[in-house]
Structure 1
Amino acid sequence: MTPLRIGARASLMSLSQSAPILTHLAPTPTLLRPFYAAGGDRERDRSPLEEDGAFSQEIETALLAGDIDVAVHCLKDAPTHDTPGLKMAAYLRRDDIRDCLVARDPNLRLDTLPHGAAVGTASLRRTAALRAYRPDLDVVPLRGPVNDRLTALNRNDVDALIVASCSMERLGMRHRINERISPAIICPPLGAAVIALQAREGDMRTRELVSRLHHPETGVEAEAERTVLRRLGGFCNAPLAGYCATDRAGSTVTYTVRARVFSPDGGTAIDVRRTEADATQAALAVCRGLSPHGVLDLTTAE
């Protein structure tokens, strides 16, 4: 049987989260192809990345050309709109959506970091949240893959980091997490902690093969969050955050969608939540709730 060719970014994080996919697809033979220059990975300054899909362009080009059969994406970094000819074929079960604190001192928490402590992050979302919650902290723009940021922490460039909990888990570093931070303090990005598998729209064999990895509940949440991104013009580092949560009460299932738009300095934030029996309708209701506040000016501002 011809191997299923799977493309992923060549970062340690991407390869760590892609390797289990090969195991889950067994006994189908697979071949993992790393991409060493995928879009946003080439950018030294990652904070102003304002192009939708900045981290996925090269992999999508290879997928369209038939050089690979499946592209592995972190959903939060994937294009908001489906690229013509391509389709998300599966969403894997969602991991922890929360950000976490990682510090050299294992006893510290976000509330107990000393006044003036240097906290590394290049994310507009995290920076704004930190400035709102702990304006006394020194937010240091620290960029690059998570393992590089951990190296900076270890050599005392900063006192602590704010990173995704799922990133630490996928790197096998759960033990380094000081605290998982409530979404009420730092709201996660839309599409957080979801790995998406993308295939050519007409490649039904591949789409059928990877569909067995699809997690339906995650799929519903992911599509609701992409609806918010599409309506509000969001991208991977826009001043926009949120999530969809599935709520079960006996046989009744409802979906709560939250979206938060903020100014990069943390001084202004608009937060809307809606709960509906249909996740897409909850997402659309959130967008309607935000639209009177001129949020597009924030999400599209240069």
Structure 2
Amino acid sequence: MKPLRIGARASLMSLMQTAPLMAKLGPTPMLLRPFHEAGGDREQNRAPLEANGVFSEEIETALISGEVDVAVHCLKDAPTHDTAGTIMAAYLPRDDRRDALVTREPDLNLLTLPAGARIGTASMRRTVALGHVRPDIEVVPMRGPINARLRALAQGEVEGLIVAACSMERLGLSHRIGERISTEIICPPLGAAIIALQTREDDMETRKALFKLHHADTEVEAEAERLVLRQMGGFCNAPLAGYCTTNHHDEGSTYTVRARAFSPDGSVAIDTRLTGDDATTTALAVCGLLTQHGARELATG
């Protein structure tokens, strides 16, 4: 049997989240190809966070050329639009979508951080939210692999970090989380906490092999969130956030879609959410409300 060639970023985070899915695919023969030069992972000449698909371009190119059969993506970092000839063949069950506060001193949360505390994050979304809830703290622009940010924290460059809760979980560092921050305080990015497996559209053998990993509820939520991104012109670090949640009832399921657009300086924010029987229709309705209130201009410029 031909081995399944899996492409993933070479960061510790990517390898830690790829290993469990490879275990679940067993006994299928597999080869892992780590990519060291994904734009956002480079130590030098790093691509800006404002570039759509910055973390996935090299892996996606290898997929299209046939060098690998599966590309492993954090959905929030994947291109907003599917590249011609490719498809998201499977979505893994969603992890915790919330952001988390990690501090050097134990037992601190957003409310008990001392005035003037330095908090590391390069995310516009997090920076704007922190400006509303704790305008007295200092946001220090900080990006790069999470283990590098944790070293900066340990060395005293900052008093705390805002990171994805799922990132800490995947690294086995849940015990370091001081607070899992409510989505009402920091709205997560669209596509947060979802691992997506991308294949060539015509590679039915690989798509069939991945199907046992696929989670139907996550697919519905992921596609609704990607629809909001496409409709509103957003990407990973655009001034746009939100999520879709699945609400199970005895008589079926409904879907709540929330989207939040804001100005880069945080002075204006438009937040809307709707619940409906169909996630796609609900997502489109949310986009309509956002547009009606001027969110498109905020999200694109």
User: What interval of TM-score do these two structures reach, taking the shorter chain for normalisation?
Assistant: over 0.9
Q: Residues 31 and 59 from structure 1, CA distance in 2 versus in 1: closer, same or farther, beyond 3 angstroms?
A: same
Distance in 2 (alpha carbons) for counterparts of 1:134 and 1:103 = 15
Query: Secondary structure at 1:112's aligned position in 2?
Result: coil
* Structure-1 residue corresponding to 2:249: 249
- The reply on whether 1:192 has 2:192 as its aligned counterpart is yes
In structure 1, the partner of 2:228 is 228
| 8 A contact 2:50–2:238 mirrored in 1 | yes
Write out aligned runs for 1:131-170 (5 A).
Answer: 131-170=131-170
| C-alpha displacement of 1:164 | 0.3
C-alpha separation in 1, matches of 2:93 and 2:24: 12
- Asked if the contact 1:47/1:124 (under 8 Å) is kept, the reply is no
Q: Deviations over 1:113-159 (max 9, x none)?
A: 00110000000000000001111110000111111110000000000
- In structure 1, distance between residues paired with 2:44 and 2:184: 30
Q: What are the superposed Cα offsets for residues 191-211 of structure 1, whole Å, 9 maximum, x if unpaired?
A: 000000000000000011001
Equivalent residue letter for 1:163: V
Report the equivalent of 2:273.
273
Cα distance change on mapping 1:299 and 1:110 into 2, 3 Å: same
Task: Provide closer, same or farther for how the CA distance between residues 85 and 47 of structure 1 changes in structure 2, counting only shifts above 3 A.
Answer: closer
Query: Which position in structure 2 is the counterpart of 1:67?
Result: 67
Flag the 1:48–1:296 CA change in 2: closer, same or farther, 3 A.
farther
Distance 1:45 1:295, change over 3 A: farther
Residues 221 and 244 in structure 1, CA contact (< 8 A), matched pair in contact too: yes
Percent of paired sites with the same residue: 67
Q: Match for residue 214 of structure 2?
A: 214
In the alignment, which residue of structure 2 is the partner of 1:87? Answer: 87
How far residue 60 of structure 1 moved from its aligned partner, in angstroms, is: 0.6
What do residues 44-87 of structure 1 show as CA deviations (whole Å, max 9, x unaligned)? 68795222211111001100010000000000000110000000
CA RMSD of aligned residues (A): 1.3
> Could you tell me how far apart the structure 1 residues matched to 2:184 and 2:267 are?
16
Q: Does the Cα contact within 8 Å between 1:47 and 1:237 map onto a contact in 2?
A: no
- Kindly indicate whether residue 145 of structure 2 is the aligned counterpart of residue 174 of structure 1: no
**Corresponding position: 1:283 with 2:258:** no
Structure 1: stretches of 5+ with no match in the other structure: none
Mapping for residues 99-114 of structure 1, pairs under 5 Å:
99-114=99-114
CA contact (8 A) 2:48 2:54 kept: no
Structure 2: distance between partners of 1:137 and 1:286: 33
Does structure 1 retain, via aligned residues, the 8 Å contact 2:239–2:263?
A: yes
Task: Tell me the alpha carbon deviations over residues 231-279 of structure 1, each in whole angstroms, 9 at most, x when there is no partner.
Answer: 0011111010000001122233100000001122222111010100000
| Structure 2 alignment gaps of length 5 or more | none
Residues 134 and 73 (structure 1 numbering): CA distance in 2 closer, same or farther, change over 3 Å? same
**1:151-193 deviation digits (Å, cap 9, x = unpaired):** 0000000000000000000000000000100000000000000
SS of the residue 2:111 aligns to: helix
| CA distance, structure 1, for counterparts of residue 191 and residue 236 of structure 2 | 9
Verify the 8 A CA contact 2:117 2:159 in the aligned structure 1: yes
1:208 and 1:295, CA in 2 relative to 1: closer, same or farther beyond 3 A? same
Deviations 1:83-121 (A, max 9, x none): 000000000000000001000111101110001100000
2:213 counterpart SS class: coil
Paired residues, number: 301
Structure 1 runs of 4+ with >4 Å offset = 43-48
Query: Which amino acid in 1 is paired with 2:272?
Result: V
Distance 2:294 2:45 in 1: 28
Indicate conservation of the 8 Å contact 2:85/2:202, yes or no: yes
Read off the aligned partner of 1:80 and give its amino acid letter.
T
Counterpart of 2:207, as a letter, is R
1:47 and 1:123 in contact (8 A); partners too: no
1:43 CA displacement: 7.2
Matched with 1:205 is 205
1:8 is aligned to 8
Residues of 2 paired with 1:220 and 1:43: CA distance?
36
- In structure 2, do the counterparts of structure 1 residues 46 and 257 end up closer, same or farther at CA, with 3 Å as the change threshold? farther
Q: Which residue of 2 aligns with 1:56?
A: 56
Query: Normalising by the residue count of structure 2, what TM-score does the alignment of the two structures yield?
Result: 0.97
